[in-house]
Amino acid sequence: MTEAGHRLDAFPAQLAPETVERFRKELLAKVDRVAGEGPFEPSWSSLTRFQVPDWFRDAKFGIFIHWLASSVPAYGTEWYARTMYLAGTPEFTHHTSTYGPQKDFGFKDFLPHFTGSAFDADEWISLVARSGARYVVPVAEHHDGFAFHDTQLSRWKAPLIGPGRDVIAELAAAARRANIRFGLSSHRAENWWFFNGGKRFDSDVNDPRWADLYGPAQPKSTQPDAEFLDDWLARTAEVVERYEPEVVYFDWWIEEPAFRDYLRRFAAYYYNQAAQRGDEVLVNYKWDAFDEGSAVHDIERGAVRTIQPRPFQNDTSMSRTAWCHLVDNTFKSLDELVADLVDTVSKNGSLLLNIGPRPDGTIVDEERALLEGIGDWLTVNGEAIFGTRPWLVHGEGPTHVDGGSFADTAKVPWTAQDMRFTCKDDQLYVLVLRWPDDGNVVIRSLGTDLRLVDADIESVQLLGSTGTVAWRRDTDGLHVTLTEPAPSSFGACLRVRLRNRPIPPRYEPPMAE
């Protein structure tokens, strides 16, 4: 990778500081002006009046896209940009043996090879639509400081180096042509410390020519200063101004105390700006960065044990261990991904499922096949997912999932006795997580003695089948016999229609006035 023509010789010099600072101040002034115009104010008491948009509650399924320059080395982790500077890591050893010392070949030197030569926004979005997903969230800027969008605050951006185009603008336009809701993610907060390993030895992180990419590179234990925080807020507002995303996803480090005031200012600005346009938007956050009810909580690679009182999001990757393309990625099975979707939706959540394209912008065959497989399953069973709400209980069966983050690497041994429930109008959906070997399903939650459903059952139908199924109901449950071949690749979905009785809505906490 060190051949002539692949260095940074032609890359533009650092932006004029006075021009950048003037634009930053203009953005920050607009943030505070709009944040003060209502209907929201930059206070948690005001922001907790936020209501999750119906479009998001109905969507249930989105696609996350981590297209990162770390996919050029494609080794070890999507955090290669950091770990290549951490002595003792496999990535550090791999880097020095493959590319040479970090002072001569640093992370910045991968950017010219991040070509995007085969990137086609319409093709990506067509695959998103094929999967059945209703929204898409590409990474706008990761921890490494490289922006996939046009920006007046940095020269390290896709229009100038790498793909040579505004990736976010192209994806936003393609998504809107396809009626896919468009969001974006910001991981800028972590840039405060992301490259700090390079400060500990002779590396290009110490070269002032590249400081505007590598960031402050401060110890993670320190709080960001006002200059960094102002820049963070301005960069975040800039993508809102340019692309009008309906989702802004934040990674975890915004939970640090120094961000609290900035988060309130951003949320009030973002919500107010959207309200002025007549749009419905949301923020995703992790852990306790936002006050409960002021945005949509996100759980990374995890699950919840039972129905949540507020809509939430579970984000996970098709790869078992990575978020971007790696040469040795291993992938989850279609059954695992569909089970994640079903379990999440039954508990009042939405699933944001990640793919990681190659440096040239192509999507690997395994991810493409999984997206198409989910789309095929949703073609048959989507009415039990889209537009549904939680039932009185999320499910039944002997298998339980652990709640919390980073709990999705082990395959869950679902059985034909494990079921999840959703509902819509007078229809209850029973999603059986394994097709029964003997064709018999017993839904114990619908037993006459349990009285969760105090109404007669009018009909039972297997989604994807035009035939009838035999069923009877007694004190033990609803007994269903499935005699036809399975109409989809995963489990079975039954539509249970009640006679003269709508499904009772599950209680949800009232919104603040």
Tell me the pTM: 0.96
Q: How far apart are CA 129 and CA 125, in angstroms?
A: 6
Question: In degrees rounded to 5, what are phi and psi of residue 54?
Answer: -60, -35
**Between the CA of residue 323 and those of 65, 77, 184, 315, what are the distances in Å?**
8, 8, 15, 11
pLDDT tens profile 329-345: 999 999 999 999 999 99
pLDDT tens profile 398-409: 998 888 787 776
Q: How far apart are CA 235 and CA 155, in angstroms?
A: 13
Q: Under 8 Å CB-to-CB from 11, ≥6 apart: which residues?
A: 155, 160, 161
Task: Return the amino acid letter for 512.
Answer: A
pLDDT tens profile 33-45: 999 999 999 999 9
Q: Give the position of tokens 């619908």.
A: 446
Q: How far apart are CA 1 and CA 115, in angstroms?
A: 13
* pLDDT in the model for residue 513: 42
Cβ proximity of 482 and 436 under 8 Å: yes
501: confidence class by pLDDT, cuts 50, 70, 90: low
* pLDDT in the model for residue 41: 98
Residue 109, CB-side half-sphere exposure with 13 Å CA sphere: 21
pLDDT tens profile 423-449: 998 899 999 999 999 999 999 999 999
Torsion angle, CA of 485/489/490/496, rounded to 10 degrees? Answer: -50
Strand partners, 494: 430, 462
Cβ proximity of 354 and 363 under 8 Å: no
Q: What percent of the chain has pLDDT over 90?
A: 89
Q: Under 8 Å CB-to-CB from 410, ≥6 apart: which residues?
A: none
**Between the CA of residue 431 and those of 114, 350, 438, what are the distances in Å?**
42, 16, 17
Q: Tokens standing for 250?
A: 């934040």
pLDDT tens profile 4-38: 334 587 788 889 999 999 999 999 999 999 999 99
Query: Mean pLDDT of all residues in the chain?
Result: 94
